[in-house]
Each structure stands twice: as structure tokens, then as C-alpha cells.
Structure 1
Amino acid sequence: MSRRIRLTAFAVPFTVLPAGIWRLPAAFGEGIGPAERLYIISLTVFSEILAFTAFGLIARWGEVFPRWIPFLRGRRVPMTAAVVPATIGASILTLVFTFLFTVSEIRGTTIQGDGLPAGSPSLTTGWEAAWYYFCYAPLALWGPLLAVLTVAYCKRRRAAAPVPAVA
């Protein structure tokens, strides 16, 4: 596996991390109830866990089930079991974060097409807006990076597949 593909896999969690860092202080701000706090923290942790699953596309456990998984341990992971979720994830992430986020920012609307609320980063200037974009812009790379890893995984698994004997 190439060094570039490894670096791509390591980059994926770092595309998600800044948004989590931006979101977490809001969880502990004034006027935030326990349910909202739990939601924000859970969203941040869940996003990072999803981002870390990209390592499965370069790691041994993405090709062979680990020993701790009952009934499957040591068996090859079916290629479709990794490729289908990764492809769907890459498509959704690219659509949401790359396309819809960019279009909504350019148009000055939310993803639903509504006008932006007062105080949103697009309507503010200065360091608040800069910090917001610094933290959320990397999310636009999450889907495309996952797509690159998925294609590399497919190529690597196909190249490693046993070739049937010619009769």
C-alpha cells in the first residue's frame, strides 16, 4: 500500500476533528440543557468514530475479521461488506458537506433553502466567522478522501484475490 493512501487514511479523522472542537464549547455554554449537551457531545464522538472507520480500508482488520469477533474470526472480510458502506458514506458526505454546504454558503441560505438566522457565521465577520470556516471547511474533504480510500481498497483487494486456474 502506498504512503499516500496511508496519509489519506490518517487525514480523514483530522478533517472531522476541528468541527468537533468548534462544537464542544457550545455544549457547555449557558442556556444549554442536558439533552442538548448530550446531543452535541454524542454527535462529536460519533463523527470521530465514523471517521476512524476509514482506517479499516488500510488496516488488516479491514481484510480479515479480528480474533475477538465470534464466528467470523480469521475469515476474510467480504469486499462488498467494506466497499458498499464506504461508497454510500463517501457519497452522502460529499453531497452534504461538499456540495450542499458550499452551495448554501454561496447563496447565503441554510441547506433547507431558508435564509440564514441572525448571528450565523455567514452573517458575521471577523474572527468568529474565520474560526467557523477554519473548523468546518475541512469537512468538505471527508467524503472525497473516503472515496479515494475506497477505490484504493478495491484495487488492493482485487489484486490480492486468487486468480482461478485456467483449464
Structure 2
Amino acid sequence: MSRMTLEAAPSAPVPPPPRWAVLAAHLTALVVLPSGLWRIALVLGHPAGYTEAGFEPFSTVDAKIWMLTLSLVSELVALLTIGLVRPWGEVVPHWIPLIGGRRVRPLAAILPAALGAAGLTLIWVTVPFWWTHPHADLTATGNLVVGILYQPLFLWGPLTAAVTLSYHRRHRVRRRG
């Protein structure tokens, strides 16, 4: 491989993200937070709305590791959306070994973000209907609180899609007329 293929080709400057996209990117981290904090309460031993019998399965070490991991990974994935409106979404930070300083190919950001947005939308599309399904393991108050804490997840996919579309528009190749 020649040295030329490893170096980034000069490109036209990318316009800054619109204000709405920056706001939407930051909101992605916030919409994931309430459900994650609820799961962390479970990990710390608070029944968080569950009946005594309903809480029992969450008191095992495996369940606690799963809930903590799910909460942390969800938040980290949501934070990645911010990369679509920040410089590190265009050039890999220098401190990252092997690839630091290299330009991010737009498709390498757009494809996973778009697939993630579609998947998240499908996963959370039923959240607004939380109260239509009985939750026998939750108290009445717990059902209300958990329903409220999970409602923001409905926005995670659409917000990610909107920010991804903005990133795509800013990075698309301009054809010469």
C-alpha cells in the first residue's frame, strides 16, 4: 500500500451543525438517563416500584451486573450521538491509538447511526402504550413511575435519526456543476 492511500485527501470544510441538531444530540443522552437511574436504584437494592416478589429476581448478582451494564452501555451509546455534532465525529481524537488524527469517513458514522436510530425506534415504539399492559410485579405507584421514566426512550431513535440526517447533509459530497 502506498503512503498516499493512508493519508486523508484534502476536503472542503464541513459546515457547522445547525443549532437544533446540537440540541437534539445532547437530548439523546438525557432521554436515556431516567431509565438508567431507575435501574441503578434496583442495583443498589431499592425495589423502585416493584412488589417484594417482583423485586426478588433483581437481587441476584447476575441481574445487578446486567442492569448496571445495560445502563452504562445505553448511556455511552446515547453519548456517541454527540459525536455527530462535534469535531471528534469528523476527526478521530489524537489520543486514540492507531487511528487517532484520521478523518472519519462520513459513511462510517452515518451507517451505524442510521441503523441504530432505526433499531431504537423499533425497540421503543411501544413505550407510549406502557399503561395498556398489566404489570403485576409492580405496585400501582411503581407502574406509574416506571412508565414515566421509560417514556423518554420513545424519542431516542427519532432524535438519533434527526442528528444523523443533519450529519449526512453536512458531509455529503457536493457535485461540481
The TM-score by the shorter chain falls in which range?
0.7 to 0.9
2:127 corresponds to which letter in structure 1?
A: F
> Matches of 1:132 and 1:96 in 2, distance apart?
17
| Structure-2 residue corresponding to 1:132 | 146
State, as a whole percentage, how many aligned pairs show the same letter. Answer: 35
Q: Deviations over 1:102-147 (max 9, x none)?
A: 46x3752xxxxxxx55224xxx53x322211221000000000000
List structure 1 segments (4+ residues) > 3 angstroms apart after TM superposition.
Answer: 100-103, 161-164
Name the structure 2 match of 1:40: 67
Q: 1:21 to 1:71 in 2, by over 3 A?
A: closer
* Residue equivalent to 2:137: 119
Q: Which residue of 1 aligns with 2:107?
A: 80
**TM-score normalised by the chain length of structure 2:** 0.76
Structure 2 residue ranges without an equivalent (≥5)? 1-16, 46-54
Give the one of 136, 140, 150 matched to 2:164.
150
Q: Secondary structure at the match of 1:5?
A: helix
Superposition pairs for residues 98-117 of structure 1, below 5 Å?
A: 98=125, 100-102=126-128, 105=130, 108=133, 116=134
Question: What's the CA shift string for 1:50-96, capped at 9, x where partnerless?
Answer: 11000110010111121123343322211111011001100000001
Give the length in aligned residue pairs. Answer: 150
Letter of the structure 2 residue corresponding to residue 119 of structure 1: D
Aligned to 1:23: 39
Which residue number in structure 2 is paired with residue 63 of structure 1? 90
In structure 1, what is the equivalent of residue 24 of structure 2? 8
The alignment yields a C-alpha RMSD, in angstroms, of: 2.1
